[in-house]
Structure 1
Amino acid sequence: MSTEQNADAPVSDALAESTSDASLDRTRARSQAIEAEIDANPSRFRVLTGDRPTGNLHLGHYFGTLANRVALQDRGVQTWVLVADYQVITDRDAVGEIQDRVLSLVADYLAIGIDPARSTIFTHSTVPALNQLMLPFLSLVTDSELRRNPTVKSEFEATGGRPMSGLLLTYPVHQAADILFCKANLVPVGKDQLPHLEQTRIIARRFDERYGRAEADRPVFPQPEALLSAATNLLGTDGQKMSKSKGNTIELGMDADTTAKRLKKAVTDADRHITYDPAGRPEVSNLVLLAALASGRDPHEVAAEIGDGGGGTLKRVVTEAVNEHFAPIRARRAELVADPGYLRQVLDEGNERANAVAEATLAEVRTAMGMIYT
């Protein structure tokens, strides 16, 4: 039996362990320490984050991850933002209106404050060297490891039982290439994403152990750490999980009137007295939280001010807060969408930077593997 097969079970345990209570406590503590280190020396860190261009970004994305990306950028952390266009086809048969969706995503990024002069926005499909890293990386994992990977399992379950594609099976390896091509050493994640980051750490470690760089104390790849986000999970307007396909989201690009109409139909309950009780009153509390996030206030304070005003007053308060907060973002987004040439320029420049870094990393990988022939 090979070394990799012998290591298979411990690796599987490591992936599962990454979301255990004890491991989460350690990750939270380390994340707090990293926050302090960012304040002291932000240039130490390089962040990789991004999205699949499968639809328009919404308020859940904004308050969950997007606003934090801008905050990290503004604190001086080098930030790489991936438009994961190749990952669109991990669980579907076609790419759809991919060009429009990619440009829409870039417009969203720029509108919320991602600065292309300080952050790099790029696409999978235009960085060949990034994707070529998958070949040596695939040799470092086993079929059974991938099938037991919690990320693969959850993504497969979300497909409704359709046959698993090879790309979906190797999804964690592609994500490892995303992170390691630019040698990112910090990845903002929620706890459900910790297994895929652990898989990346395993791949980085195995590469250096196999090709002798770890012993020389000059590894090719860092073992990236998690910045565990305190991401706010907002429900959709129907009280269910936010989903673009369900039409229960408020998109970043929606105008004020459409936002008001969506929120007017939002689910509440029969109790006119408004309280913030996420466990007992999830739908009402979700709207209270949205108003609080949009206005920068405490949700208990928002609820107390509404008091006996009922669902109608709550929806009015939420609508006003959301529309006020997003008015400048939407205005800027409208300007950007009207200038697709500029959006393409931003992508071109980001792709050029990404290609230069990816080619340098691939050259280092080939050197470590002894695959330089000139």
Structure 2
Amino acid sequence: MTKPRLFSGMQPSADSLQIGNYIGALMQWRGMQDDYDAFFTVVDLHAITVPQDPARLREKTRRTAAQYIAAGVEPSRSTLYVQSQVPAHAELAWILSTITGFGEASRMTQFKDKSQRYGSDQTSVGLFTYPVLMAADILLFQAEAVPVGDDQKQHVELTRNLAERFNSRFGETFTVPKPVIQGETARIYDLQEPTAKMSKSADSQAGVLYLLDDINVTAKKVMRAVTDSEGVVRYDRAEKPGVSNLLTIYAALSGREISSIEDEYAGRGYGDFKKGLRDVIVAEFEPVRARALELLEDTAELDRVLSANADRASEAAEETLSAVYERVGLLRRG
């Protein structure tokens, strides 16, 4: 029986992924590999919608791919590749852009937020068409499932609209994908600002846990995490955002129910609770960090693995692209 297709990816926008990426994406991807014909990519074409240093971009791309593998996304079980190594992404994005309305692209909230923040002169056309490239990423592989966070749901809806529009105009070509929205355990907040989503772009890095940080640095950040004055380990997102965030992390990494963790630390202080969480995080991160650094010691081998996977991805992508060119009326080389 043929497995349904799945597609997802992350930008190589930092030297290290953070715990929100790990819990919200990598842990879920790892568990989906057996049930889906999975395509996972490092979306470096998306990364250049803002200014990038070329050498640093290549380094961050390798580092991101190494962390995918170290976290359990296995190139032998999934198709793990670098986006720019499959030119069909950009080719399909151009075709989809010709059936995308200027108004509907303008309504994408991420573009509106960033253009307001940076101003129109500092906002690239690439950033404006980012959601169209994302649509091409998904439709290229006829993906049925797209694991995303809430902030990307609008982009998947655009993808669905474009697939249906193309199918209506040119005949059945694309699978209309469905978003797999990640649950509450995927929503990780800053350890120092627990009402703000954890992000590499935070003003302070004191509340961000990175996979490739030295384990001692990670342990100190956990022990210094913001809590409250009540001294009771219980989940209450509104009244106790700091403790609730730590409980969410604890539950996600340990596979336990939050209520079980609350019971374990009933009558005990935040110090004990943080030590327990620290031990859980270190146990999870330490082997991932070691494996990623090992992979990065032999970049030639890492590049070989990614290239072989890009060949697999290109083969699948070419099937879709050939059908699209035929239906649109483009004359392909023989």
The alignment's TM-score, normalised by the length of structure 1, stands at 0.81
The answer to whether the 8 Å contact 1:59/1:251 transfers is yes
CA deviation map 1:141-179 (0-9, x unaligned):
121221123343244456577633111111111111101
Instruction: State the distance in 1 between where 2:9 and 2:118 align.
Output: 21
Pair 154,291 (structure 1): closer, same or farther in 2 beyond 3 Å: same
The alignment yields a C-alpha RMSD, in angstroms, of 2.1
Which of 180, 191, 197 lines up with 1:241 in the alignment? 197
Q: What's the counterpart of residue 147 of structure 2?
A: 188
The answer to whether the 8 Å contact 1:151/1:195 transfers is no
Secondary structure in 2 matching 1:145: helix
Instruction: State the distance in 1 between where 2:331 and 2:116 align.
Output: 42
| Paired AA for residue 349 in structure 1 | A
The answer to whether the 8 Å contact 2:45/2:84 transfers is yes
Secondary structure in 2 matching 1:146: helix
| Paired AA for residue 97 in structure 1 | R
- Structure 2 residue 10 is the aligned partner of structure 1 residue 69: no
Q: What's the counterpart of residue 283 of structure 1?
A: 242
Q: What's the counterpart of residue 17 of structure 2?
A: 57
Instruction: State the distance in 1 between where 2:178 and 2:272 align.
Output: 44
| Paired AA for residue 190 in structure 1 | G
Give the percent of matched residue pairs that are identical in Structure 1 and Structure 2.
33
Which of 167, 182, 185 lines up with 1:208 in the alignment? 167
Q: How many residues of Structure 1 are paired with residues of Structure 2 in the alignment?
A: 326
Q: What's the counterpart of residue 228 of structure 1?
A: 181
| Paired AA for residue 241 in structure 1 | K
What are structure 2's unaligned runs of at least 5 residues?
none
Query: Which runs of structure 2 are paired with 1:11-22 in the superposition (5 Å)?
Result: none
Secondary structure in 2 matching 1:244: coil
Instruction: State the distance in 1 between where 2:70 and 2:115 align.
Output: 33
In the TM superposition, residue 366 of structure 1 has moved relative to its aligned partner by 1.4
| Paired AA for residue 63 in structure 1 | I
The answer to whether the 8 Å contact 1:47/1:187 transfers is yes
Instruction: State the distance in 1 between where 2:234 and 2:117 align.
Output: 34
CA deviation map 1:217-259 (0-9, x unaligned):
xx11111112222152111120232121331211122232111
- Structure 2 residue 119 is the aligned partner of structure 1 residue 163: no
Q: What's the counterpart of residue 256 of structure 1?
A: 215
CA deviation map 1:47-69 (0-9, x unaligned):
11000000121111111121111
Pair 77,158 (structure 1): closer, same or farther in 2 beyond 3 Å: farther
The answer to whether the 8 Å contact 2:97/2:132 transfers is yes
Instruction: State the distance in 2 between where 1:67 and 1:162 align.
Output: 39
In the TM superposition, residue 289 of structure 1 has moved relative to its aligned partner by 2.3
Pair 103,236 (structure 1): closer, same or farther in 2 beyond 3 Å: same
What are structure 1's unaligned runs of at least 5 residues?
1-40, 214-218
Secondary structure in 2 matching 1:81: strand
Q: What's the counterpart of residue 289 of structure 2?
A: 330
| Paired AA for residue 59 in structure 1 | I
The answer to whether the 8 Å contact 1:134/1:177 transfers is yes
In the TM superposition, residue 82 of structure 1 has moved relative to its aligned partner by 1.5
In the TM superposition, residue 125 of structure 1 has moved relative to its aligned partner by 1.8
Secondary structure in 2 matching 1:355: helix
The alignment's TM-score, normalised by the length of structure 2, stands at 0.90
Pair 110,366 (structure 1): closer, same or farther in 2 beyond 3 Å: same
Query: Which runs of structure 2 are paired with 1:1-374 in the superposition (5 Å)?
Result: 43-55=2-14, 56-74=16-34, 76-92=35-51, 94=53, 97-157=56-116, 159=118, 163-211=122-170, 213=171, 219-232=172-185, 233-238=187-192, 239=194, 240-246=196-202, 247=205, 248-372=207-331
Instruction: State the distance in 1 between where 2:242 and 2:262 align.
Output: 13
The answer to whether the 8 Å contact 2:63/2:292 transfers is no
In the TM superposition, residue 97 of structure 1 has moved relative to its aligned partner by 0.8
Higher Cα radius of gyration: 1
| Paired AA for residue 71 in structure 1 | G
| Paired AA for residue 57 in structure 1 | L
In the TM superposition, residue 357 of structure 1 has moved relative to its aligned partner by 2.4
